[in-house]
């Protein structure tokens, strides 16, 4: 673009510079002429103009002033020319003496002066141009001597008496004729350069008889006057003149017409004067005195001269014409130049315009591209946002469905439990109210049946939960499947018998396979229960066990009511019941069994399928690998082995105190006796009591149930973890239902372990031991930086509470940088000095150091337990200057805050502790 803009500018300047070079130098020349009354002077002007036309580099103006033979007038003319601002003066003085002062004056002003033809009486002029009148006179003398052949009488008609040409011409004429004694100048008369005057004075001579042989007139016009006088008087003397011009009255014509016998060439010097003027003004070299050549002309070469002169004049005419044409051409060229200049200017402007248009178009394109890109980005972002929104909607929907399902689940389960519980409570009430001592067995059986049902339901629900959280593990045994199946089917015989259903088992002789007896029992229990439930009295049920392609296929076939075809796709969905309207009070189900069975078969690397026809019967079948993949077996066996090994390793350590919190007395007792075998045990029936015990004697570990009156396990754990004196005590929460676990997780209260009831005693003991050991290691790794909780152990209970209260108040203002000892004293309702003294006594720290220590220990806790940056930790703990915080922290804990966590948590077990 820049180059494009530069091009027109360069062209423009070129055009301008070209225009400049065409300019001519302006020159003004003033010419003061003594007279213009004769041909000779007119010829002089013509020659000047002709010469001027040859200098094309100059724009020459020639101002001619005619003094008309008047000295005063000529002086005035010169003054006017100077006033007009001429660059150079050419002067042909009328008379020498009167004109000399003004010419000197002009010269002294610094204006160059060329004196032409006539002279002045001073050297103060720049150059002189003129013919030599003395030589002219001599030429005339020689011509006269020739014509007179050395003998005769002469009449001399002079120019203006006193004028230098007249004087010098006379002198030269006499110089030559003095050489001829027989030639005499009889008479000298003044003709004043004029025809009429010459004729008049000649008439006065010729009117009387005369023996004049030759008349010498100082110029050709006067010679013609002489001729007219002679012819008037019938005389024919030799007549000679001076000038030799080719004009009608000029010397050449006089000769050719026979009026005179000869003439002397006297050049005007007009052309020479212009040449010298240009040289002077352009500071080129020139001669100061420029004398023009002269020569005599007689009839023998007058014709030739005339012809030459005519030719010159013709040429001159042509030159003039050419000049005229050239002038016109110049005009045209100038016009064209101007036009071209204008054209170039327009083209330049057009180029500039086009350049600007291209530039702005490019810019527009560029901006459009940027806008397009931005639009694209916005579109993509919109798309992303829309996708995210859709995703959120989808997740919300799933969440809604999940919530709905949970609600349904709890409604159904509550219903189930209520039914079973009322079936249990009714006979119990009856039994309690009965005065009979004999126990009514059928009532007890009903109680037993419903209790079993409840237990089974609870088990099924917990199984579901385990499957959902991928915690259900396959524990296979390598055993005879036929034996196992026989036992299971036999167990169902009484139930089948009650409906007079024929229960058959088709099995091979023996079939050793890998199977999880618990899973297989649950699967078969469900399938056989359903088969009996949905088969009418006296129906038939067939259990088949077949081995083919290293897979064991088991099917349970009945000839019961069957499942409507449109229901089949849904029967494995949880809570789905294909025969919900069927009135089978006793056999009412929840729609859980098949869904769970399908999952259990899946865990066993099989797939549960169904074939059914309404009124014909139903067959459920599945196949499992005869030999389970090794990895699975190894994993399950390995884990079990590990557990038993570690069981053996657990050693009693009575220096450790474990606080057990459980509201159920029975369970509390069992837990206390189990854990008491290994550790010192304290017990509490709820969270509140537990906190009191913790305040009195810090235990090494807390094991707490979640659901408790007064204060539940979650609140208790939160209290322990937010108190800097106790936050390091590990907490194990015991939960009966897994749903609680997600609640705990979301609360993120900082519990160290969760165990689901019923828990394995060994797992509980080993986890408790690990946690306490990790805590010990952490303490060791923290080395010398003692936590306040440790330093307070040996002081009185009341003092401990006092310090704890101080810490708690500081915690409430932990992020307030301006919180100082004064504020703490106010909050504790104490004077500043007594608070200071008490803190000093109990902790051996100054008040300000105590507050700082609490802040830093809180920071340490945040750094260890939370995933937040050092800056944020500093601000949260009331340090506005992060550098100062890092310095204090490093002094307290020997590590920079940024490296603290890594330094402390280098050991894996400590990580366990913190996480």
Residues lying near ligand ADP in the complex (CB under 6 A) are found at 526, 530-531, 534, 558, 560-563, 571, 576-579, 589-595, 618
**Please, are residues 835 and 823 in contact by the beta-carbon 8 Å criterion?**
no
Residue closer to ligand ADP (CB basis): 618 or 704: 618
Residue closer to ligand ADP (CB basis): 120 or 571: 571
User: How near is the Cβ of 560 to ligand ADP at its closest, in Å?
Assistant: 5
Q: Give alpha helix (H) positions in 589-664.
A: 593-603, 630-649
C-alpha distances in Å from residue 708, one per residue of 269, 711, 716, 721? 145, 6, 10, 19
Residue closer to ligand ADP (CB basis): 571 or 824: 571
| Residue nearest ligand ADP by beta-carbon distance | 589
As to burial, measured by CB atoms within 10 angstroms (0-12 exposed, 13-18 middle, 19+ buried), residue 666 is exposed
Residue closer to ligand ADP (CB basis): 253 or 619: 619
As to burial, measured by CB atoms within 10 angstroms (0-12 exposed, 13-18 middle, 19+ buried), residue 110 is exposed
Q: Give me the phi and psi of 860, to 5 degrees please.
A: -60, -40
Which residues, at least 6 apart from 730, have a Cβ–Cβ distance to it below 8 Å? 700, 701, 702, 752, 753, 771, 772, 774, 775, 913
Q: How far apart are CA 481 and CA 372, in angstroms?
A: 71
User: How near is the Cβ of 607 to ligand ADP at its closest, in Å?
Assistant: 16
**Please, are residues 541 and 501 in contact by the beta-carbon 8 Å criterion?**
yes
User: How near is the Cβ of 610 to ligand ADP at its closest, in Å?
Assistant: 8
Residue closer to ligand ADP (CB basis): 335 or 408: 408
Which residues, at least 6 apart from 223, have a Cβ–Cβ distance to it below 8 Å? 157, 198, 215, 217, 239, 240, 241, 242, 251, 254, 259, 260, 263
Residue closer to ligand ADP (CB basis): 150 or 564: 564
Residue closer to ligand ADP (CB basis): 99 or 541: 541
Which residues are paired to 114 by β-bridges? 90, 127
Residue closer to ligand ADP (CB basis): 574 or 671: 574
Q: How far apart are CA 719 and CA 734, in angstroms?
A: 17
Sign of the CA dihedral running 795, 799, 804, 806 = negative
User: How near is the Cβ of 466 to ligand ADP at its closest, in Å?
Assistant: 18
Q: How far apart are CA 292 and CA 429, in angstroms?
A: 172
Task: Return the half-sphere exposure (C-beta side, CA atoms, 13 A cut-off) of residue 111.
Answer: 26
**CA 507 to mean position of chain CA atoms:** 80
User: How near is the Cβ of 534 to ligand ADP at its closest, in Å?
Assistant: 3
User: How near is the Cβ of 401 to ligand ADP at its closest, in Å?
Assistant: 19
User: How near is the Cβ of 657 to ligand ADP at its closest, in Å?
Assistant: 48
Longest dimension (CA), the chain: 219
Residue closer to ligand ADP (CB basis): 314 or 565: 565
Residue closer to ligand ADP (CB basis): 605 or 611: 611
Residue closer to ligand ADP (CB basis): 579 or 895: 579
Which residues, at least 6 apart from 470, have a Cβ–Cβ distance to it below 8 Å? none
User: How near is the Cβ of 577 to ligand ADP at its closest, in Å?
Assistant: 3
Tokens of 513: 């396979």
The C-alpha torsion from 525 through 526 and 532 to 534, rounded to 10°, is: 180
Q: Give alpha helix (H) positions in 665-793.
A: 665-676, 687-696, 713-722, 738-747, 761-782, 788-791
User: How near is the Cβ of 436 to ligand ADP at its closest, in Å?
Assistant: 36
Residue closer to ligand ADP (CB basis): 526 or 698: 526
C-alpha distances in Å from residue 774, one per residue of 656, 694, 771, 855, 911? 13, 20, 5, 25, 8
Q: What is the SS3 assignment for 122?
A: coil
How far separated are the first and last CA of the chain, in Å rounded? 66
User: How near is the Cβ of 564 to ligand ADP at its closest, in Å?
Assistant: 9
**Please, are residues 268 and 46 in contact by the beta-carbon 8 Å criterion?**
no
Q: How far apart are CA 213 and CA 236, in angstroms?
A: 8
User: How near is the Cβ of 704 to ligand ADP at its closest, in Å?
Assistant: 36
User: How near is the Cβ of 464 to ligand ADP at its closest, in Å?
Assistant: 12
C-alpha distances in Å from residue 886, one per residue of 473, 778, 890, 891, 914? 49, 22, 6, 9, 22
User: How near is the Cβ of 501 to ligand ADP at its closest, in Å?
Assistant: 12
Counts for the chain of helices (H) and strands (E), in that order = 30, 24
Residue closer to ligand ADP (CB basis): 172 or 589: 589
Residue closer to ligand ADP (CB basis): 27 or 594: 594
Which residues are paired to 505 by β-bridges? 543
Q: Give alpha helix (H) positions in 30-163.
A: 39-54, 71-83, 96-108, 133-148
User: How near is the Cβ of 498 to ligand ADP at its closest, in Å?
Assistant: 17
Residue closer to ligand ADP (CB basis): 44 or 563: 563
User: How near is the Cβ of 726 to ligand ADP at its closest, in Å?
Assistant: 48
Residue closer to ligand ADP (CB basis): 359 or 572: 572
User: How near is the Cβ of 570 to ligand ADP at its closest, in Å?
Assistant: 9
Task: Return the half-sphere exposure (C-beta side, CA atoms, 13 A cut-off) of residue 606.
Answer: 29
Residue closer to ligand ADP (CB basis): 577 or 895: 577
Q: What is the SS3 assignment for 761?
A: helix
**Please, are residues 502 and 465 in contact by the beta-carbon 8 Å criterion?**
no
Residue closer to ligand ADP (CB basis): 531 or 806: 531
**Please, are residues 135 and 111 in contact by the beta-carbon 8 Å criterion?**
no
User: How near is the Cβ of 785 to ligand ADP at its closest, in Å?
Assistant: 60
Tokens of 654: 């009575």
User: How near is the Cβ of 563 to ligand ADP at its closest, in Å?
Assistant: 5
């Amino acid at each position: 673009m820049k180059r494009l803009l530069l091009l027109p500018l360069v062209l423009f300047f070129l055009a301008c510079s070209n225009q400049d070079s065409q300019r001519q130098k302006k020159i003004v020349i003033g010419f003061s002429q003594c007279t213009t009354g004769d041909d000779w002077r007119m010829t002089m002007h013509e020659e000047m103009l002709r010469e001027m036309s040859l200098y094309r580099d100059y724009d020459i103006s020639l101002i001619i002033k005619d003094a008309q033979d008047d000295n005063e007038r000529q002086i005035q003319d010169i003054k006017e020319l100077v006033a007009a601002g001429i660059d150079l003066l050419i002067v042909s003085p009328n008379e020498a003496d009167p004109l000399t002062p003004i010419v000197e004056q002009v010269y002294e002003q610094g204006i160059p002066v060329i004196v032409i033809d006539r002279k002045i009486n001073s050297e103060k002029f720049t150059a002189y141009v003129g013919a030599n009148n003395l030589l002219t006179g001599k030429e005339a003398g020689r011509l006269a001597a020739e014509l007179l052949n050395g003998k005769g009488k002469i009449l001399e008609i002079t120019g203006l008496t006193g004028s230098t040409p007249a004087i010098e011409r006379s002198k030269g004429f006499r110089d030559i004729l003095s050489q001829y004694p027989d030639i005499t100048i009889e008479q000298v008369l003044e003709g004043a350069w004029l025809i009429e005057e010459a004729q008049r004075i000649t008439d006065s001579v010729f009117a009387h008889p005369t023996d004049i042989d030759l008349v010498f007139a100082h110029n050709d016009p006067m010679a013609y006057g002489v001729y007219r006088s002679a012819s008037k008087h019938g005389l024919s003397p030799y007549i000679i003149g001076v000038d030799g011009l080719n004009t009608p009255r000029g010397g050449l014509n006089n000769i050719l017409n026979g009026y005179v016998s000869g003439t002397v060439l006297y050049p005007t010097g007009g052309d020479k004067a212009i040449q010298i003027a240009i040289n002077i003004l352009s500071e080129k070299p020139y001669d100061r005195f420029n004398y023009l050549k002269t020569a005599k002309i007689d009839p023998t070469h007058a014709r030739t001269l005339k012809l030459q002169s005519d030719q010159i004049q013709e040429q001159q005419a042509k030159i003039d014409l050419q000049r005229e044409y050239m002038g016109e051409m110049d005009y045209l060229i100038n016009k064209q130049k101007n036009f071209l200049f204008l054209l170039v200017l327009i083209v330049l402007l057009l180029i500039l315009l086009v350049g600007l248009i291209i530039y702005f178009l490019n810019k527009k394109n560029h901006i459009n591209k940027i806008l397009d890109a931005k639009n694209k980005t916005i579109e993509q972002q919109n798309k992303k946002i829309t996708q995210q929104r859709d995703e959120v909607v989808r997740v919300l929907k799933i969440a809604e469905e999940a919530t709905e399902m949970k609600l349904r689940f709890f409604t159904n389960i509550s219903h189930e439990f209520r039914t079973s519980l009322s079936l249990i409570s009714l006979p119990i009430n009856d039994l309690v109210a009965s005065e009979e001592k004999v126990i009514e067995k059928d009532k007890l059986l009903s109680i037993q049946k419903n209790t079993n049902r409840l237990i089974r339901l609870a088990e099924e629900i917990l199984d579901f939960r385990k499957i959902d959280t991928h915690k259900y593990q396959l524990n296979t045994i390598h055993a005879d499947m036929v034996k196992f199946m026989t036992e299971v089917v036999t167990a169902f015989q009484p139930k089948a018998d009650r409906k007079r259903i024929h229960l058959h088992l088709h099995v091979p002789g023996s079939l050793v396979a890998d199977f999880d007896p618990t899973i297989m029992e649950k699967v078969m229990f469900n399938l056989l229960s359903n088969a009996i439930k949905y088969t009418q009295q006296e129906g038939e049920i067939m259990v088949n066990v077949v081995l083919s392609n290293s897979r064991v296929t088991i099917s349970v076939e009945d000839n019961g009511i069957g499942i409507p075809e449109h229901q089949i796709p849904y029967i494995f969905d949880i809570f789905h019941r294909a025969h919900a309207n069927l009135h089978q009070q006793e056999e009412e189900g929840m729609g859980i069994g098949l869904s769970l069975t399908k999952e259990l078969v899946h865990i066993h690397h099989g797939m549960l399928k169904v074939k059914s026809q309404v009124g014909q019967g139903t067959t459920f079948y599945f196949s499992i690998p005869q030999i389970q993949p090794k990895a699975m077996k190894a994993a399950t066996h390995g884990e079990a082995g590990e557990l038993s090994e570690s069981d053996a390793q657990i050693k009693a350590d009575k220096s450790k105190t474990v606080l057990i919190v459980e509201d159920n007395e029975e369970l509390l007792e069992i837990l206390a006796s189990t854990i008491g075998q290994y550790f010192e045990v304290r017990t509490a029936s709820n969270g509140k009591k537990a906190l009191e015990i913790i305040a009195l004697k810090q235990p090494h570990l807390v094991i707490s149930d979640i659901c408790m009156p007064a204060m539940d396990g979650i609140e208790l754990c939160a209290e322990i973890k937010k108190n800097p004196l106790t936050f390091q005590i590990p907490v194990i929460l015991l939960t009966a239902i897994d749903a609680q676990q997600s609640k705990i997780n979301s609360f993120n209260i900082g519990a160290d372990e969760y165990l689901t009831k019923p828990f394995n005693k060994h797992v509980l003991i080993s986890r408790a031991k690990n946690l306490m050991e990790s805590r010990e290691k952490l303490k060791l790794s923290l080395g010398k930086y003692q936590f306040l909780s440790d330093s307070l152990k040996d002081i009185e209970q009341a003092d401990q509470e006092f310090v704890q209260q101080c810490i708690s108040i500081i915690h409430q203002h932990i992020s307030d940088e301006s919180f100082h000892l004064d504020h703490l004293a106010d909050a504790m309702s104490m004077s500043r000095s007594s608070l200071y003294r008490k803190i000093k006594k109990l902790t051996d720290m100054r008040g300000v150091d105590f507050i700082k220590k609490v802040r830093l220990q809180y920071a340490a806790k945040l750094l260890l337990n939370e995933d937040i940056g050092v800056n944020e930790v500093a601000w949260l703990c009331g340090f506005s200057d992060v550098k100062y915080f890092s310095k204090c922290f490093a002094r307290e804990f020997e590590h920079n805050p940024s490296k603290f966590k890594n330094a402390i948590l280098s050991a894996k077990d400590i990580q366990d502790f913190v996480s």
